Amino acid sequence: MTTNAINPPQQQLTFLLILVLGAIAALTPLAIDMYLPAMPEIARDLAVTPGQVQTTLAAYTAGFAIGQLIHGPISDSYGRRPVLIIGIAFFLVGAIVSALAVDIQTLTYIRAAQGFCGAAAAVVIQALVRDMFDREDFARTMSFITLVMTVAPLAAPMMGGYLAVWFGWRSIFWLLAAFAVLVIVLVMALIPETLAMDKRPPLRIGSTLRNYMKILRSGKSVGYIFASGFSFAGMFSFLTAGSFVYIDYYGVSVQNFGYLFA
């Protein structure tokens, strides 16, 4: 992804800016992990099998994976800010529709779409930070963002468990929607466009596909992809089945699942 800034990085690294970037980075971890404790309740409420509820998580992850391939080139050609704002806006819509879903098919499809849109935040934030800061501040900011992406998945099931007990599983998606609104407001108020017009190449799908093919023809790159993929596969198995094993099989309370997950 093209990462040239408008000028040599002049953005001042402030605590507020770090919090905004952290909030952007937290969107997908919260979307994945917050509703894990509620999966057994979702299965009962929608009268479906555990496997069908688990598919909603696979759908989100699939949409997220595909979205990453697309949002990057678009942000190179049309700017970071519009791609980020539009992506989070549709993520917000996905959260609202998920909260209102009355059948598992709707929930599955909308979660796939939400993952696709949420990928915009995950992709753009890295280019955004590189545009905004010099090497030292970039490393410092990315360290914080990495910390957020590590802590958010641990805290999310704890919050989701209590929300599911107190207000029902749909409240989890309403909270995600409210958080997305907050992030959009913060981005619009505090995050400038960082990619100058003269640094934006025209969007050429053929060129983009050829670049992806170069990666796939690189043995080292494919090795990294498989290493990361197999690593995530183990975690994904736990993400999809963990709540059913703990809550339905071992009788762990919904609000305590998050602590065991952490």
- What domains lie within the chain, and their CATH numbers? 15-261 (1.20.1250.20)
End-to-end CA, the chain: 33
> Is the distance from CB of 129 to CB of 142 less than 8 angstroms?
yes
Give CA–CA dist 60/110, Å, rounded: 8
Mean pLDDT of the chain: 88
% residues pLDDT > 90 (the chain):
51
How many CB atoms are closer than 10 A to CB 97? 18
Q: Output the pLDDT for position 199.
A: 81
Closest listed residue to residue 243, CA positions, set 255, 232, 234: 255
How does pLDDT run across 135-166, given as a tens digit for each residue?
777 777 888 888 887 888 888 999 999 999 99
Q: Classify the C-alpha dihedral 224-141-24-154 as positive or negative.
A: positive
**Mean of pLDDT values over 7-33:** 78
Q: Classify the C-alpha dihedral 24-29-32-38 as positive or negative.
A: negative
Give CA–CA dist 54/209, Å, rounded: 31
Give CA–CA dist 214/221, Å, rounded: 9
The DSSP secondary structure of 57-118, one letter per residue, reads HHHHHHHHHHHHHHHHHHHHHH-HHHHHHHHHHHHHHHHHHHHH--SHHHHHHHHHHHHHHH
Output the pTM of the full model.
0.87
Q: Output the pLDDT for position 77.
A: 85
How many CB atoms are closer than 10 A to CB 254? 22
How many CB atoms are closer than 10 A to CB 134? 14
Q: Output the pLDDT for position 208.
A: 83
Give CA–CA dist 200/194, Å, rounded: 11
Is pLDDT of 126 > 50?
A: yes
